[in-house]
Structure 1
Amino acid sequence: MTTLYATLGVQADATLDEIKQAYRRAAMKWHPDRNLGREAEAHAAFQEIRDAYAILSDAEQRQIYDEVFEREMRRWQVEQEAQEEQERAAQREAQRVAQEQYEKMVAIAMRFADDGHNRDVLFGVLLGRDCEAELAARIADSVSALQASRQASAAAAQAPEPAAASGHDTPERHRRHPGAFDSFWHGLFGVRS
């Protein structure tokens, strides 16, 4: 919001002499005769400068302007703060709705993954539930990876632990996970290496 003070290029506490000097500088700069080729723009700016000077050079009009401007600024600030709060509330609500939608889509994908469906089926189901394609792909990828990880952990938990060569249990950090060689060796001889 441009003030009359800003139009003249002075501070709100400027003296009458400072206002007069600023008016002279601005009037010289924006006089239409000095702005050939930009007469319309210069005329509008020159008129604003004259109006600002007419009010600010008169003590009574300046006081009324200051009071009205201050009151209007307070009103404007209250309106701005209310509008910003409404925007923040709308943004929070949009985030809440998006989070609920995300959680719903993840729950659906988990249910289908638990039923043994692969990533492509999860993706298709999510698209069928009006999930955006990019989000559906991310959820399908994540849930499929989680399901594969769960299956691998379950398989590892069911496999017997290999014993150490000395016959003693080895600490957890030194135990090897069974690999293809171990499975082959066990299949041939019934013994773990």
Structure 2
Amino acid sequence: MATLYAKLGVSQDATWEEIKRAYRKAAMKWHPDRNVGQEEAARAAFQEIKDAYAILSDEGQRKVYDAVYAQEMRRWEALQKRQQEVAAARARKAEADAHARYSQLVGVAMRYADEGHNRDVLFGVLLGRDCDADMAQRIADSVWALQQARQAAQTSEPADAMDAGVEVASSSEASDHETPSPTQPAAAKRDKPSHDARAAGLFDSLWQGFFGVRS
């Protein structure tokens, strides 16, 4: 809502002379006789200008108006602050609820994928849980891709075991020709991370990349 000062086009600390000049200028601009075809709007604006000038040109009324305006402004600012805090709290709650809902849906899809169901089944299950179609498609695609990656990692275990057997055999042959060092096995163990550690790191990276949340 415009203040009386704004209606006259002056600042709140305007002098009486400035208020008087502003009133004359505004009155000439909005006089009905100078606004042919827009008399009704001009008449309303002209009346507001007259009312503003009547208060601001009187020292006593102006002081009362300034005091009331300052009080109302403080009340309005406090109300605005409370409304902003409530809105922010609601936004935070909505974000937390959405995150929890998303995590729940991902967990459901992961459970069905672990049971051997394909991507289409995952999509249908998510739709049955009142999941948005676009989100259901994204989750189903991501979970299916993650499941495929897990299966690929699991099938690589026999190959790793075979490679380890070849290493053991080679080491046994080499031991016939040289004396082993007591520190060699421990060093080799430290240099080569375990398969479980590599797999855990892979799954963690995939999970973070697909969903951005941890189970």
TM-score using structure 2 length: 0.74
In 2, Cα distance between the equivalents of 1:158 and 1:60? 95
Aligned equivalent of 2:90: 90
**Is the aligned partner of 1:145 residue 2:165?**
no
In 2, Cα distance between the equivalents of 1:156 and 1:18? 87
Count of residues paired in the alignment:
168
Aligned equivalent of 2:66: 66
Task: Answer with 86-95 or 59-68: which moved more.
Answer: 86-95
1:13 partner SS? coil
Post-superposition offset of 1:158: 2.4
Task: Letter of the 2:47 partner, please give it.
Answer: Q
In 2, Cα distance between the equivalents of 1:115 and 1:71? 67
Task: Answer with 129-138 or 11-20: which moved more.
Answer: 129-138
How do residues 149-164 of structure 1 correspond to structure 2 at under 5 angstroms?
Answer: 149-159=149-159, 160-161=162-163
Aligned equivalent of 1:12: 12
In 1, Cα distance between the equivalents of 2:104 and 2:158? 32
In 2, Cα distance between the equivalents of 1:158 and 1:28? 95
In 2, Cα distance between the equivalents of 1:104 and 1:145? 18
Q: Once superposed, which parts of structure 1, at least 4 consecutive aligned residues long, lie more than 3 Å away?
A: 160-163
Aligned equivalent of 1:43: 43
In 1, Cα distance between the equivalents of 2:32 and 2:152? 82
How do residues 57-136 of structure 1 correspond to structure 2 at under 5 angstroms?
Answer: 57-136=57-136
Which structure's relative contact order is higher, taking Cα pairs within 8 Å and 6+ residues apart?
A: 2
User: Matched residues, percent identical?
Assistant: 59
Question: What is the Cα-based RMSD across aligned positions, in Å?
Answer: 1.8
Listed one character per residue, the Cα deviations across residues 102-135 of structure 1 (whole Å, up to 9, x for unaligned) are 0110000000011111111000001111111111
Task: Letter of the 1:7 partner, please give it.
Answer: K
Runs (5+) with no aligned partner, structure 2: 172-190, 193-215
Post-superposition offset of 1:155: 1.4
Task: Letter of the 2:90 partner, please give it.
Answer: A
TM-score using structure 1 length: 0.82
Aligned equivalent of 2:28: 28
In 2, Cα distance between the equivalents of 1:2 and 1:149? 64
